[in-house]
Amino acid sequence: MSKSTIWIHYDFGVLGDYESFYQWLDKQEAKECGDGLALLKYEYSGNLIESLKSELDGSIIVTKKTRMYVIYRDQQSQKMKGVFIFGGRKTPVWSGFFRKNEEDLIDYE
């Protein structure tokens, strides 16, 4: 068995299965790190991401609105990595706030 410290960012939408996920987090003795973010030491065998996704898929109801992003240290490269285990990226709420100069928007081809 291996153990890794991971952060999980979660978003289930309005009607998501928060209760089952909170039970899972409590069982893992996770620490709260702000809205939708938890820190925990995860014990697993085999591949970290595959093990985590499989365990969560059996513990919570996953819908098309379920989004979970995991941040972890890769054991081989020792670099920090992040991956969606459910869902994917959406257009960020800050998109469109930065205004470019008009000349930046001209296509000179």
Model confidence pLDDT, tens digit, residues 26-56: 999 999 999 999 999 999 999 999 999 999 9
Domain extent listing, the chain: 2-86
DSSP string of 17-75, one letter each residue: -HHHHHHHHHHTT-EE-STTEEEEEEEESS-HHHHHHHHHHHHS---TT-EEEEEEE-T
The predicted model scores a pTM of 0.84
Does domain 2-86 fall under CATH 3.30.70? My reply is: yes
**Over the stretch 68-109, which tens digit does the pLDDT of each residue have?**
999 999 988 999 999 999 999 999 899 888 876 656 555 556
